[in-house]
Amino acid sequence: MKKKLVVLTGAGISAESGVKTFRDSGGLWEGHNVMDVATPEGWNRNPALVLDFYNQRRKQLKEVEPNLGHLILAELEKDFDVYIITQNVDDLHERAGSTNVLHLHGELLKVRSIANPNYIIDWKEDLNFGDFDEDKNQLRPHIVWFGEEVPALEEAITITETADFLAVIGTSLQVYPAAGIIDYAPRKTQLFYIDPKPIKIPNLRNAIEVITEVASKGVEIMRNKLLSFL
């Protein structure tokens, strides 16, 4: 039976493909204050701005491709039972070929009803006023905004609790509750932490190997180390 590799990914792995992140520019995301475009309050104040912002993000996503980091993680499914838990809202893991991807913070290519959070549909083009669910409720981006609950968190914890290996790639480990997921790894789980500027992880119970590289290079190094366990 294959060993279980759980991978927690963040903005760093997508940044190498050209996906811009708000943390790169002092809290501004494409020139917008994050509180204006990624909070329920921002939506209530100016939904037109929020719709346009995510329409632009969708257009940008069509212009980028998965990088080597995404591709190697997909290839590892040949030798490991791989589960990817991502904080990213893009579809680059899926396009690279990964088959078990859990999006903690929603998905850019899906929308949902403002009245029914379980009404979620695929959406690849612009989202506009007048785009409704079956009951004539406006649709909104299927994104977990700041201040909203993370519906996939319990599933992410359940997955992590059975990991033989846990890799943390391209995330600052500062956005909660996602950052707390690593605390649920069993004591025996070997951790890999890939980041060009790694932080010290407090109160860590597990053996950890820190790879001080960008995501694509670090994943390549990790792959070779993982294959030595087979």
Among all residues, which ones are annotated catalytic? 105
What is the C-alpha separation between 161 and 153, in angstroms, rounded?
Answer: 12
Cα(121)–Cα(152) distance, integer angstroms: 17
User: Following DSSP, what letter does each residue of 156-170 receive, concatenated?
Assistant: HHHHHTT-SEEEEES
* Distance of alpha carbon 191 from alpha carbon 201, whole angstroms: 11
- Do 189 and 163 meet the contact criterion of CB atoms below 8 Å apart? yes
Residue ranges of alpha helices (H) inside 127-183 are: 153-160
3-state secondary structure of 110: strand
Number of H helices, E strands in the chain: 8, 11
Instruction: State the helix-helix crossing angle for 215-227 and 68-75, rounded to 10 degrees.
Output: 20
**CA-CA-CA-CA torsion sign (180, 184, 188, 191):** negative
